[in-house]
Structure 1
Amino acid sequence: MRIDLHAHSSVSDGTEPPAEVVSRAAAAGLDVLALTDHDTVAGTAAAAAAVPPGFTLVPGMELSCLHEGAGVHLLAYLFDPDHPELAAELRRVRDDRTVRARTMVERLRELGLDVTWDRVRAIAGVADDAGRAAGNVVGRPHIARAIVEAGGASDVPDAFDRWIGTGRPGFVARYAIDALRAVRLVRAAGGVCAVAHPARGERGDGAAPTALIEEMAEAGLGGLEADHPSHDAEEAAYWRGVAKRLDLAVTGSSDDHGELTGHRLGCRTTAPEEYARLIEPATGAVPITTG
């Protein structure tokens, strides 16, 4: 069984619609895929409708968190999306993403780049405020693509390095949930969670502090994404060791964003026994399968 627990669609910062992500996953030989768009589950219904016989979709999201000012990403799975406190936090996070993105566009225009909010919104697939409110999110990769189109960078990584990475001239901070509180919220909503790419952090941030992972484990964290395309062998081994010491599941995932990451679904996978161990406590939702 081949299991990939981290992938994005065009509902957040991937390049393909949710249904196409599921189709590509099946074509890549995967048996289980978690759709983990940033701070939203808006793509779950469309992805579920595309699940082929014998395939399993795990509803999830990648939740934006902070710890002492640094970004930490939490992969949350099988939670109740209607849980009042979690749903309220997600609305706040998504709303602030939009405010932040508009502010960044204004700052970039002041810096001389011909980037417009209408173009960023179009790249993100958000037609209007109603579309945003439905759960779609605007992120920095959408702005980066607009920068490239405007001739301000050679590609998306270059746009981050020049303009919108942490500390760069177009960067604007945004609201995110405290990492420990996020774990507790997901667990209260019946979900389970794993820290995403702990050796990488967010763009411009370093690795997640091991002391923080220890606190998150005490709060209910279930796993660590040790096997990630951005981790080298030494980093993967280190985080596997941390997971073993803290009795956490070890996950492996592609963190696929479609064209932006070279269509790499299945390039890292999670062992079936680790997957079963991770999701066993979940009560908020169930994996979606057909046939």
Structure 2
Amino acid sequence: MGTLDLHMHSLYSDDGQYTPEELMALCKKAGLRTAAIADHNCVSGIAAGLRAAQEEQLELIPAVELDCTHDGVNFHLLGYFIEPDEREYGPVEENLLAQDRAACQKRMRLVRAAGIKFDEDFARSLSRNGVVTSEMIAEAALAVDQDRQPPLMAPYYPGGERSDNPFVNFYWDHCAQGKPFFSPVTYQSLREACALIRRTGGVPILAHPGNNLKERVPLMESVFKEDVCGMEVYSSYHTPEQTEFYRVWCEKLGGIATCGSDFHGKTKPSIRLGSADCRGSEDEVLDRLRSARK
């Protein structure tokens, strides 16, 4: 396990479980020295996280994870060492919340039309902001007896091949871009997201490229032309082969290879803090991020 984890979420993300204070206590227990709370399109938890990190004698890097799009592909862009300016990030969050509230209605209709049973009231009770995420739908659906569900739900029940992280795996398999239950939302461009992070003093890094980039080299080269400074090479999502692929290409493109678990809590139960180890290069990663900020 590493001592650096630059990708985790608090309950200020709609799919996060813990308060920033609880998250910092968990980081301390996991043996981390440096962490970054990167909530989805939101910076509201950073102040509490910084106070808690100081009490736990940890370094917390102010961060954010922005949804954006480039060449027709949706990406997640991490911003490190940002100034958490609500005047800049607040409108982004509010715009996406409004869109997500509408999109989740369509998503639930599509799931029900596929014959998947779930208690909508229970799913709504899991939400803190009126957005019923794909993971919440999955949690509600998995509360229903397996015998009453269609075969496509079988992999997510205990013992199934996708049961390690059943809620988020349901999202990636059925609700992500290009999947049958996908409900589109209009995101800012990758260029706009990079500019926002830069305006607030941060460093833009592409999150878990194996999930969105999918080893498409021309697309990767195009992404790096938009002021992206590196990639989350060491990710809990990546196979060893993917990690090596992105390590090599990140070096070729002159980028910073960062590491992050993408820890959420119950949404991804098999993911542990510090599980995406940078292979002993923690100090080098931090030095390069600080230099890129300057």
TM-score of the pair, normalised by structure 2: 0.79
Who is 1:148 aligned against?
A: 142
Name the CA shift for 1:58/1:84 in 2 (closer, same or farther; >3 Å): same
Unmatched segments (≥5 aa) in structure 1: 129-136, 284-291
The list of structure 1 runs, each at least 4 consecutive aligned residues, that deviate by more than 6 angstroms after superposition, is none
Name the CA shift for 1:246/1:227 in 2 (closer, same or farther; >3 Å): same
Who is 2:62 aligned against?
A: 59
Paired residues of 1:78 and 1:190 also in contact (CA < 8 A):
yes
Matching of residue 26 in structure 1 with residue 28 in structure 2: yes
Identity %: 28
State the alpha-carbon separation in 1 of the partners of residues 276 and 24 from structure 2: 16
Name the CA shift for 1:121/1:217 in 2 (closer, same or farther; >3 Å): same
State the alpha-carbon separation in 1 of the partners of residues 92 and 140 from structure 2: 28
State the alpha-carbon separation in 1 of the partners of residues 81 and 24 from structure 2: 17
State the alpha-carbon separation in 1 of the partners of residues 253 and 178 from structure 2: 34
Q: Give the CA RMSD over aligned residues.
A: 2.8
State the alpha-carbon separation in 2 of the partners of residues 165 and 175 from structure 1: 14
State the alpha-carbon separation in 1 of the partners of residues 47 and 87 from structure 2: 20
2:288 to 242, 263, 277: 277
Paired residues of 2:24 and 2:56 also in contact (CA < 8 A):
no
Matching of residue 16 in structure 1 with residue 23 in structure 2: no
2:96 to 71, 93, 96: 93
Paired residues of 1:144 and 1:164 also in contact (CA < 8 A):
no
Quick one: which amino acid aligns to residue 64 of structure 1? D
Matching of residue 255 in structure 1 with residue 249 in structure 2: no
Matching of residue 226 in structure 1 with residue 233 in structure 2: yes
TM-score of the pair, normalised by structure 1: 0.80
Name the CA shift for 1:85/1:211 in 2 (closer, same or farther; >3 Å): farther
Who is 1:287 aligned against?
A: none
SS in 2 for 1:280: helix
Quick one: which amino acid aligns to residue 89 of structure 1? V
Paired residues of 1:28 and 1:265 also in contact (CA < 8 A):
yes
Deviations 1:113-170 (A, max 9, x none): 55455433431333x6xxxxxxxx6532223222223455434256447753445543
Who is 1:134 aligned against?
A: none
1:108 to 106, 111, 125: 111
SS in 1 for 2:198: helix
State the alpha-carbon separation in 2 of the partners of residues 49 and 209 from structure 1: 41
Who is 1:186 aligned against?
A: 197
Deviations 1:60-85 (A, max 9, x none): 12211222332211111222333755
Q: Offset of 1:16 from its aligned partner?
A: 2.5
1:123 to 126, 133, 143: 126
Quick one: which amino acid aligns to residue 276 of structure 2? R
Q: Offset of 1:194 from its aligned partner?
A: 0.8
Name the CA shift for 1:236/1:61 in 2 (closer, same or farther; >3 Å): same
Name the CA shift for 1:83/1:38 in 2 (closer, same or farther; >3 Å): closer
State the alpha-carbon separation in 2 of the partners of residues 234 and 117 from structure 1: 40
Name the CA shift for 1:210/1:168 in 2 (closer, same or farther; >3 Å): closer
Who is 1:131 aligned against?
A: none
Who is 1:139 aligned against?
A: 133
Deviations 1:188-235 (A, max 9, x none): 22211211111222xxxx516433433443332222111112222222
Q: Which has the higher contact order (CA 8 A, sep 6+)?
A: 1
Paired residues of 2:231 and 2:258 also in contact (CA < 8 A):
yes
Q: Offset of 1:255 from its aligned partner?
A: 1.4
How many residues are matched? 270
